[in-house]
Amino acid sequence: MPKQLLPLLRKQFRFTKDGRRTITLGETVIEVADGFALYFSCSIPLWLRGSGMQPLPHELLCPVDLSVSQEAVVDLLLKDIMAVEWPEFQGQSHSVESDLLLQKFALQNEQEKLLQQIIATPALLEDPTLLEKLLESQQTIQRHQMILDETDYIREQLHDKRHLYVSVAVHGAKLYEIIGRVSVLQAEYNVCFGSFRRLFQTTVLSRHRGKGIAGAPKARSQELIDATTSAVYEFASAMMFEQHGQLFALLIALESMRMSEKLSNQELGLFVNGVDTQGMENTLVFSDKPDWMSNKMWLDCAALENTSSVFKNLRESLVENWEQWHEYFQCKFNTMNPLPGVWIKSPSIFQICLLWRICAAHKLEEVSRALVEHELGNVIESSKNYDIHEAFKLSHKSTPVVFLMPSPPEINQSEDSCTIGVVLRNPLHEVHSLAKESGMEGRVHVVTCGVTGQMQEIEKALQECALSGYWLLLQNAHLAHESWSPNALSLLQSLTENQPYQRPLDLQLAALDDSIDSGQSETGDTARSSSTRSAPFKDDAFHKDFRLWVTTRVDVGRLLPGVMIQHGIKVSCEMVDNFADTLSKTYDSTQIEQPASEAVPISILHSLLLHSQLFHPSPFTHCYGWSSSDLLLFSELLRSVVSVSQSQTGASSLAKLIYSGHTIDPMDGARVEAICEALLRLSPILPVAGVAALLESLRLNDQSETFHDKLTSLVEIPQHQLALPECAQVNLASVKSRNLVKNLVCVIGSPDLMRAPLEKSFLNAEAILSRLHSEMREWPACPSGSKNDAFYPMDLFYASEIETMQETLSHVQTDVSYLLQVVLGELTSCPEALSDIAQLSVGLVPGSWHRLTFPTRMSVSEWAEESKARIQRLRGLFTEGAAAPVIYNVRDFARPDRFIQAVLQTFVRREFKVLQNCVIEVEVLPPGRMPTEAPKSGAYMSGLRLHNAFWDASKNSLSTTSTKKLQPPTSEGPQLLAFSDDPSTCFINLCCQVFAKRFHPFIVNELHRLSPKRKSTSPGKEDFTTVLWQHDMNIQNSNFVGMSIFLLHVQIRVRGGDVLLATTCNIMMR
């Protein structure tokens, strides 16, 4: 709003001596007429955020909302439906309405005529013609009344037929309303009604069967509802990130159930906001609850009993049938599964979903998918990656295409994770590839934002490309240093409204001067620029071939202009959690460069690595920037190698070089190389397991087979064939469920909650921090120790552990006190504090609390209990004068990787050995042998776990599990990761963060050496069980309930016969 207008808005009038009103604007005094009024109009919603959208002083204005109401939307959509389904309706309706008016007017005239005759006759009884006139008038009135009734009946018939399509229009209006609700989460989701109406018209027209063959009216109405729902969802989900698209589908299903009275507003409120448990904590007995239920679940179930009569005896059933209930919630959600126990009144489908919302909140995302499928069926398709060809079909010279880019993982982790993801294909490459296919190669102008003073260049490029028919790509528009200029906004508005653009006078004069100075014809690019100056004072017409492409990120940087957001086609570039679609699109792009048989393993390799990034931090310790450029480079180099050597022998090594070159962690690089070896090695794979099994199921053995047919035939791909741990999908579903609850509150509840999503989590964090603050007061004090007093390396290791423990506890205690004051509102917060509160609110340990140790995936309560027990054990270990323990549990150490080296160096110093001459060896002792005293030199260790393998005492070797299904570890602590012969399984890893410093690898090497050698499938080579070592922290998994755990004793000797180190390993047996 210009500052010069503020005095006018504030009505700062002055009156002259003769009574005239004046106002001073700037330095000018203006006389104000009595009838003066000032109006502002805007075609964009005032709440819409975007560049060029300035906040208005609403307190000085009187806003008038001229947007269409819900009733008006229904009327307009119904008009569009009737124009297609019954084109004659409009004419017939107008004809009937006109006949009704004429007959009413004729009837009224006849009645008035009769009345006038009666009034004009002085002696009614003496007039002999009176009776004849009355009878004649009666007949005329009856004739008009009969025609009027017939016409009214015809109108009712018309309206009855029209009413059959009202439900379609109402449903369309609800769809538009839901899009508006979801746009609260991201302003880029806003869609103007004109665009929505065109989509609705096109969908109805595409389903038109022709006159007289529409079928039963009710079935036809349902057909149009399904068609419009599918089309609108396809259109809206294309511009939404995957989790927001799933929310959009859920809102459609909930609205459909509400309109069909399958759920009440009260039940919907319980599903969104949860049950009200205020005042129930002090009166409820928690000792009666089943062990698998938390106190919050039990409390919510009690509140649910008081809220709904259907769940009257819910807690009683949970206690009596606790095993069945536990198994019920452990299984995958299915609307057809019966509830355990006996129910007087069977709960509805939505009431069952409400029960899962309380007792299995981490599966809410799975519940929502099942609910959508149950209510909408196959109307809603599964999420798919974006297709630029579909966007190009919808584009126009007046319709910009905006690519919404997700934030990379590990960036803004405290922000809404719904906008964090991976890009499958770079829009820049896609636009250039599309231009080549469309005959526009060499006519794409790219402007990369991020340079100061660049807006003038953007404005010039926009104008020249629009007039000459070039494609313009504005890359990284969110990095623009300055706001969009008024000239650029005016040009965009003219572009989106498909109107001629009148250039500002200063630009016209400059163009005229340039044209006069040039004075000669030009060719090539110069001719193109001079053509824009040929008629500087005339309206410019935009070229029909012009297209505007824009890439931006939604969570950072500068916002796009509101006119571009409202009228543009938005496309989300996030890679969705649909491996089959990702693999299909990767194969389509790979097949161009490689034969079909060779494109299959390459496509699987690239798709697996990209797909794994969705589950960060489970598969890899870091998120790497694999992209379509790597796939293109690998294809080109492989084609060159094959053309020279006539063989694909080096394909595996080439893939390792390209893809593992991105990794910065040795373990990640080993996993990538293992996948490359499994998919691209030429020797037969026996046995087939892991990703190799996926390759085998998709391999083209017959020329008549197609890759897409084989991919479609796969009903479900197991997680281990995708090189993912079993709990990866569970962890991702849990995160999505939390986001779904938060977004439901923002969309259905108050939109203001969206601006401060962490405020709601303060309540959870407050309870956790208060409990932790009181518990830490009862923790024992840390032992004392100093590095200055250390003589042997083991003493130095003890002092280092004590120092690490003291520093960690001091940091945690300070953090707990500060964060507790933040959530109570006593201190202001910082971004780091908000991130810690967000992690605490969901029960996770903040990352800053284990910065000196290896990371953990324990809950806060488990971490607190473990830390207290660890301090007590270490006090007994490090207290002065205490005897050395028989067995060292490496889980008690903050840095167990330093322990073995300290033992080795202590042995060398005491025995006066040369360090380089000491080689550590491992010997596995029988399981029944338990050490009773410490060795003379070295130490026994415990706390090591062998994951997905076990030590076969009968064969004295490592063996894999009896099944190919790999399981996550059961507890925290150092993990020995052992895998089968399939190198692809080396990829399995559940770490949340892995440090470059690893535990000493001698145990792995020695266990590897002790295992009997097996015959290799390749002549002249020997094959061993692949074993990887990693210190990792993982989530506990209930799949290991009932698994026996016993102790194996491992002696580690120095070559020459001296026992250096004897180790006790906890080995998990199936």
pLDDT at 752 over 60: no
pLDDT of residue 960: 55
pLDDT of residue 1047: 32
Kindly state the average pLDDT of the residues 765-781: 82
In single-letter form, the type of residue at position 526 comes to: T
pLDDT of residue 760: 39
Give the Å distances, CA to CA, from 1012 to 24, 460, 955, 978, 981. 98, 73, 8, 15, 14
Cis peptide before 687 (omega within 30 of 0): yes
pLDDT band of residue 878 (cuts 50, 70, 90) is: low
Name the nearest CA neighbour of 651 among 710, 588, 604, 687: 604
For the cut 70, the answer to whether the pLDDT of residue 43 exceeds it is no
Q: In this structure, how many other beta carbons lie within 10 angstroms of the beta carbon of residue 51?
A: 21
pLDDT at 128: 74
Tokens 């928690």 -> residue: 286
Give the mean pLDDT of 743-767: 57
* Residue whose entry in the numeric block shows the structure tokens 């009344």: 145
**pLDDT above 90 for 107:** no
Indicate whether 521 pLDDT > 50: no
HSE of 528, CA atoms in CB hemisphere, 13 A: 13
pLDDT value for 968 = 38
Cβ contact 385:589 at 8 Å: no
DSSP collapsed to 3 states, 378-428 = HHCCCCCCCCHHHHHHHCECCECEEEEECECCCCCCCCCHHHECCECCCHH
Mean pLDDT, residues 909-927: 71
Give the type of residue at 264. Answer: S
Helix/strand/coil percent split, the chain, to 5? 50, 10, 35
End-to-end CA distance of the chain: 72
Top-confidence residue, 747 or 58: 747
Question: What is the reported pLDDT for 887?
Answer: 79
Q: Is the pLDDT of residue 1058 over 70?
A: no
Nearest C-alpha neighbor of 484 from the set 53, 4, 49? 53
Least confident of 45-49, 118-122, 255-259, 636-640: 45-49
More confident residue, 838 or 1022: 838
pLDDT mean across residues, the chain: 75
Residue 884 DSSP SS3? coil
pLDDT band of residue 196 (cuts 50, 70, 90) is very high
Indicate whether 97 pLDDT > 70. Answer: yes
- 351 or 757: which leads in pLDDT: 351
Closest CA relative to residue 763, chosen from 294, 277, 420: 277
Pairing outcome for strands 1059-1068 and 1045-1054: antiparallel
Segment 326-346 shows an average pLDDT of: 87
Distance, CA of 551 to CA of 159 (rounded, Å): 48
Mean pLDDT, rounded, for 179-189: 89
The one-letter amino acid code at 609 reads L
Residue 316 has pLDDT above 50, yes or no: yes
Q: Looking at per-residue confidence, does 176 or 784 come out higher?
A: 176
Burial of 101 (C-beta count, 10 Å sphere; 0-12/13-18/19+): exposed
Q: What is the mean pLDDT of residues 461-488?
A: 88
**What is the pLDDT averaged over residues 690-702?**
82
Kindly tell me if the per-residue pLDDT of 727 is higher than 80. no
Would you state the pLDDT for residue 453?
Answer: 81
Question: Does residue 685 carry a pLDDT above 60?
Answer: no
Return the CATH number of the domain spanning residue range 579-724: 1.10.8.720
What are the backbone angles phi and psi of residue 1052, rounded to the nearest 5°?
-115, 120
User: Which pLDDT score, from 0 to 100, does residue 58 have?
Assistant: 61
Q: In the predicted model, is pLDDT for residue 1028 greater than 60? A: no
- What is the reported pLDDT for 929? 67
Give the pLDDT band (50/70/90) at residue 230. very high
pLDDT higher at 18 or 924: 18
Classified by CATH at the fold level, domain 758-882 comes out as Substrate Binding Domain Of Dnak; Chain:A; Domain 2 (1.20.1270)
Q: Is the pLDDT of residue 27 over 50?
A: yes
Structural element, H or E, at residue 1062:
strand 1059-1068
Report the C-alpha gap between 195 and 191 in whole angstroms: 7
Which position has the higher pLDDT, 930 or 601?
601
Q: What is the pLDDT of residue 921?
A: 60
Instruction: Name the least confident of 53-62, 788-797, 934-943, 978-987.
Output: 978-987
Domain(s) labelled CATH 1.20.1270 in the chain stretch across 758-882
At 51, the pLDDT band (50, 70, 90 cuts) reads: low
pLDDT for 168 equals: 92
**Dihedral angle of Cα 819, 822, 826, 831, to the nearest 10 degrees:** 120
Q: Strands, DSSP E only, in 949-1026?
A: 949-952, 957-960, 973-978, 1014-1015, 1022-1023
* Residue 323 φ/ψ, nearest 5 degrees: -65, -45
Q: pLDDT tens-digit profile of 413-422?
A: 444 478 888 8
Is the confidence at residue 816, as pLDDT, over 60? yes
Distance from C-alpha of 246 to C-alpha of 49, rounded to nearest angstrom: 24
The answer, yes or no, to whether residue 1059 has pLDDT greater than 60, is: no
pTM of the predicted structure, to 2 decimals: 0.69
> Tokens standing for 1044?
């026996």
Amino acid at 437: E
- Cβ atoms of 245 and 383 within 8 Å: the answer is yes
Stretch among 855-859, 905-909, 985-989 having the lowest mean pLDDT: 985-989
Least confident range of 122-131, 530-539, 986-995 = 986-995
CATH 1.10.8.720 domain range(s) in the chain = 579-724
Mean pLDDT of 539-549: 80
124, exposed or middle or buried, with CB in 10 Å at 0-12, 13-18, 19+? exposed
919 pLDDT higher than 70: no
Give the best-scoring range by mean pLDDT among 177-191, 591-605, 667-681, 978-992. 177-191
Identify the pLDDT of residue 60.
Answer: 67
3-class secondary-structure state, position 975:
strand
Say if CB 1046 and CB 1039 are below 8 A apart. no
Instruction: Supply the pLDDT for residue 979.
Output: 31
Mean pLDDT of 90-112: 81
Structure-block tokens of residue 886: 């028989």
Q: What is the pLDDT of residue 720?
A: 80
When mean pLDDT is compared across 426-435, 605-614, 994-1003, the lowest value belongs to 994-1003
Give me the percent of the chain exceeding a pLDDT of 70. 74
Of the candidates 219, 221, 206, which has an alpha carbon nearest to the alpha carbon of residue 167?
221
Q: Report whether pLDDT(1032) > 80.
A: no
Q: What is the model's pLDDT at position 910?
A: 81
What does the alpha-carbon distance between residue 662 and residue 610 come to, in Å, rounded to a whole number? 13
- Distances in Å between the Cα of 355 and the Cα atoms of 323, 333, 369, 906, 1070 are 17, 11, 16, 60, 34
